[in-house]
Amino acid sequence: MATNDALLIIDYTNDFVATDGALTCGEPGQALAEKIVTLAETTLENDGWVLLPTDVHTPHDPYHPESKLFPPHNVRDTWGRELYGPVKPWFEQAKTNDHVWQFDKTRYSAFAGTDLDLRLRERHVDTLQLTGVCTDICVLHTAVDAYNLGYQLIIHRSAVASFNPTGHAWALEHFANTLGAQVV
């Protein structure tokens, strides 16, 4: 991996992954933990960037469209929003590295309402490696925005999951056939 790559670990939080999370994908999401940590370590060893776009909400926000679609989840300063499993201690150890940062997002896409595109372009990143959850929601919407912004995409099949197996399979196909992503 060259330094023009960034690994995105999307929404890998307790609410989306832990067994008792508010909107969990459960075991399929839990099975990703070691692969995500390995990818993050490899990325840093190769002088790449590791970014953690992380969903954040206010419960029952009448102005947020997700409030009508999903139960409250990833509420700021709660256990549900903490990073899941071994990704949490990995991040705690790595967060002082200037090639690693976590940032808030309030929409499905990591690009919507954030400075992600600007920060990637400042660093001459042209390829995004996507991991995390949910394959057919936040990973998908991030991939679509990245594609429309001209980024090359690599989706790690063994590092994405969803609570919807049909949506997961559809999204993997969509990444390859519609967005021209490498699904590895």
Q: Kindly tell me if the per-residue pLDDT of 2 is higher than 70.
A: no
For the segment 17-43, the average pLDDT, to the nearest whole number, is 97
Number of structural domains in the chain: 1
> How much is the pLDDT for 63?
84
Q: Which domain holds residue 152?
A: 5-183
User: In degrees rounded to 5, what are phi and psi of residue 50?
Assistant: -125, 115
Tell whether the model's pLDDT for residue 165 goes beyond 70. Answer: yes
CATH number for 44: 3.40.50.850
Contact between residue 139 and residue 12 where contact means Cβ atoms under 8 Å apart: no
Strand 152-161 vs strand 182-183: parallel, antiparallel, or unpaired?
parallel
Question: Kindly report the CA angle at 12 between 85 and 88, in degrees rounded to 5?
Answer: 40
Structure confidence by residue, pLDDT tens digits, 35-89: 999 999 999 999 999 999 999 988 888 888 887 888 889 999 999 999 999 999 9
For the chain, how big is the Rg over CA atoms in Å? 15
How far apart CA 118 and CA 124 sit, in angstroms, is 10
Residue 3 pLDDT: 58
Tell me what the pLDDT averaged over the chain comes to: 95
Closest CA to 116 of 82, 146, 147, 75: 146
* Model pLDDT, residue 70: 83
pLDDT at 1 over 50: no
